Amino acid sequence: MFGCNPLDYDLKVELSRCFNGIGTVYLAQYLPNGQHIAVKKYRMDKASKEESILARDELLIMRQFSHPNIHTFHTSFVYGNELFQIAPLMCFGSCKDTIANCFRAGFPEIFVALIMRDVLSGLEYLHRRGYVHRSIRASHILLNQTKAVLAGFRECTSIVGHGERIASLHHLAPCSARSLNWLAPEVLEQNIIGYTEKSDIYSIGITCCELANGVEPFADAQPTFMFTEKVRGNVPTLLDRSTCPASEEMIEIVASTDSDSIRQAQQIYCQRVFSDEFHQFTEICMEKKPSSRWSALQLLSHSFFKQCRHTSILDQLQRFGLETKDYSQIRDESLVLCSDLSEMNVHSNDWSWDF
Amino acid sequence: MPLFGKSQKTPAELVRSLKEAINALETGGDRKAEKAQEDVSKNLVSIKNMLYGSSDSEPPADYVVAQLSQELYNSNLLLLLIQNLHRIDFEGKKHVALIFNNVLRRQIGTRSPTVEYICTKPEILFTLMAGYEDAHPEIALNSGTMLRECARYEALAKIMLHSEEFFKFFRYVEVSTFDIASDAFSTFKELLTRHKLLCAEFLEANYDRFFTQHYQRLLNSENYVTRRQSLKLLGELLLDRHNFTVMTRYISEPENLKLMMNMLKEKSRNIQFEAFHVFKVFVANPNKPKPILDILLRNQSKLVDFLTNFHTDRSEDEQFNDEKAYLIKQIKELKPLPEA
């Protein structure tokens, strides 16, 4: 349905950068059918060997999945030095973007429940097929008007290798340095027991905190502190009236800061109340012992999701006044200029060898 | 028979009913095909679980696996599954690959019965290789995972390398869809690098066809990724000591030197860097043929200047800097051959 001719894709505006600055995501229109889609361009000439392999493997692994809550792509092709990935448009970007744009102190509980229900059904699909995602976090959950999808498969791996099921994994994912705060204690410990798909469930717990608090736990902490806390089994909490005043650290941090936004967030934390189900849900996800954590399938039946019954992401977006724009009106004129300029590359190679 | 839950089919029953379902899928009309699709999926899942053990059950007993494999060989079902891969639904295709890869690794002592079986039925391999054809892009990646598992076994790699189908990879690695092209390239690379002696033998015997007729085209591809990958693989092939004969021949041909020198000054720094690793072999060769020496001599001062300013920011890469210094020294000291 989507072809491999780059001229058929009309890039309208840059949405975000990703993958160490190699990738850029654009809002674009596919001219042959007028459909709006996302075009992700990778500058392959700027990618190291390892990065090109990661980019390739992410696309190949995504081809193994077909589930409404797992991000997919229509096609991919190379033009010039760039790799194009044509994907469905997730108009609100990642949940991290949405937090930054609309919910500085975190999503309302009902939103977290709706998002997590989608993410968990995607995750259940992955786990049932023997895949471990290994980097679940708000920036890897994408959102549009109707659903949330799980993305970010650069670190995803299979527990079936060479026709055999592997009991547990031991190696850290290739670029997990950025994701340490979300990783489960058994992943960080790197011991002989290794880890399984249950490590993803721990990351779900951390991501719940990130979605609800607007910032991930341990965001300002030293990695060693984060590590010892997790290994001791101390779990991060959702910040609301029941947990926030008790935390002296928070008060200290707030007192020492001049930033209005942190003070505002602190006020919101002290006033709001999350349900007991929500608190309990995140605690189950972050059980120290992997076998005590519920599976994705079990979590889907947790009473936390009862509140999703008579509502949907679309309802909630409307309630909070988050409407989408008319894409046909959007166009960043400087984009054309930029691409023209890059075409005009100075030719320093105008000499030749004597053969 | 268990009191509760479904009764377990025996391996023979599973294989028989899967075979029937596949045949129905092949021939049936719309309504029939739908039912057949369901049966195929169900049986594939049962066989897969029998081989891998479902996550909550015990690992499978050896005799079940043995029985199942035997049934698969006798019924010719592996070939039938692969031939009909495009008719099987999305999840089913992946189950076929899982089943295939598991049965493939089966061992009895030092023997690999499935590998032996496939040796007698090479059309299994050729059908898998044809999975990269444009006709059914949806089976390309599934075929790829099975092919790469096959390529791990020397006997199977040999059949593939020495087949006419192998040369079709030069087309597959350049198809416009990136994910399929790069999967094909992984398989191509696996076949050319996994079994060193086999590969060396193949490259020597097919030097002209492989390098001059086909590989040259990949190196000149419009597609940046193809160019970069094939240049990198070329470097790996030439620098592998098993391929000494091939390397000696490659670095005695002036056209190859010209190509590398042009790639040295390409716009992309990654290409330049990979080209450097092939170029260095031409210079380091102690017995340069006259045409090679002539080209280097004609460009002596240009090369020295060029290399002196080449990737000067890689100061932390000691090996690279040593090699670069060595090349500059070698080129500076080049002298024409004494007239005969």
Condensed to tens digits (0 to 9), the pLDDT of residues B124-154 reads 999 999 999 999 999 999 999 999 999 999 9
Q: What ipTM does the predicted assembly reach?
A: 0.90
Task: Give pLDDT tens digits for B113-126.
Answer: 999 999 999 999 99
Let me know if residue A246 belongs to a domain: no
Domain count across chain A = 2
Same domain for A132 and A223?
A: yes
CB pair distance less than 8 Å for A162 and B302: no
Structure pTM?
0.92
Interval A306-333 mean pLDDT: 86
Min distance B268 CA to chain A CA atoms (Å): 6
A33 and A129 belong to one structural domain: no
| Chain A residues 80-119 with a CB less than 8 Å from chain B | 80-84
Rounded to the nearest angstrom, the minimum Cα separation between B249 and chain A is: 20
Q: How far, in Å, CA of A29 to CA of A38, rounded?
A: 8
The domain of A103 spans: 95-238+274-317
Q: Do residues A223 and A302 share a domain?
A: yes
Q: State the Cα–Cα distance between residues B48 and B64, nearest whole angstrom.
A: 12
Closest CA to B94 of A87, A88, A60: A60
A328 occurs within a structural domain: yes
Residue B1, pLDDT score = 42
Q: Mark whether A114 and A29 lie in a shared domain.
A: no
Nearest to A80 among B182, B224, B299 (CB): B224
Q: In terms of domains, do A179 and A202 share one? A: yes
| pLDDT score for B338 | 79
- Whether pLDDT at B85 is above 70: yes
User: Is A75 at the interface with chain B, CB within 8 A?
Assistant: yes
A78 and A155 part of one domain: no
Q: Which token pair is A43?
A: 């500058």
Domain membership of residue A247 (yes or no) is: no
Confidence check: pLDDT of A250 > 80: no
Tokens standing for residue A321: 């006044």
- What would the two tokens of residue A327 be? 């894409």
* DSSP bridge pairs for B35: none
List, for residues A60-110, the tens digit of each pLDDT value. 999 999 999 999 999 999 998 999 999 999 999 999 999 999 899 999 999
Per-residue model confidence as pLDDT tens digits over B31-82: 888 899 999 999 999 999 999 886 655 677 788 889 999 999 999 999 999 9
Residue A349 touches partner B, C-beta closer than 8 Å? yes
Question: How far A342 CA lies from chain B's nearest CA (Å)?
Answer: 13
Alpha-carbon dihedral A20, A203, A207, A151, rounded to 10 degrees? 50
Q: Are residues A159 and A281 in the same domain?
A: yes
Q: Each residue of A22-41: pLDDT tens digit?
A: 999 999 999 999 999 999 99
Alpha carbon of A338: minimum distance to chain B alpha carbons (Å): 19
Contact B265, B273 (CB under 8 A): no
- Structure-token pair, residue B261: 């020198």
Across the A/B interface, how many CB contacts are shorter than 8 Å? 89
Q: Taking CA atoms, what residue in A is nearest to B254?
A: A355
Contact check, Cβ <8 Å, A45/B103: no
Cβ <8 Å between A163 and B149:
yes
* A115/A142 same-domain check: yes
d(CA B48, CA B54): 8
**Is A82 found in the same domain as A225?**
no
Distance from B178 to chain A by nearest Cα, in Å? 5
CB-nearest to B268 from A45, A84, A353 is: A45
pLDDT band of A145, cuts 50, 70, 90: very high
pLDDT in tens, A96-120: 999 999 899 999 999 999 999 999 9
Same domain, A120 and A85: no
> Closest Cα partner for A126 from A184, A199, A175?
A199
Which residue matches tokens 């654009």?
A26
Residue A60, domain CATH: 3.30.200.20
Is residue A341 scored above 70 in pLDDT? no
A250 in a domain, yes or no?
A: no
Instruction: Decide if A258 is inside a domain.
Output: no
Q: What confidence score (pLDDT) does residue A161 get?
A: 85
Residues A87 and A15 in one domain: yes
Burial B253-279 (b: 16+ CB within 10 A, else e): bbebbebbbebbbbebebbbbbbbbbb
Whether residues A117 and A180 share a domain: the answer is yes
Percentage above 90 pLDDT, chain B = 87
Average pLDDT for B227-253: 96
The predicted model gives B225-239 an average pLDDT of: 96
Give the residue on B whose Cα is nearest the Cα of A164: B102
CA dihedral B99, B105, B107, B113 (to 10 degrees): 70
Q: Is pLDDT above 70 for A296?
A: yes
Q: Tell me: pLDDT of A198 over 60.
A: yes
DSSP code of residue A295: P
- Chain A CA closest to residue B98: A163
pLDDT at B265: 92
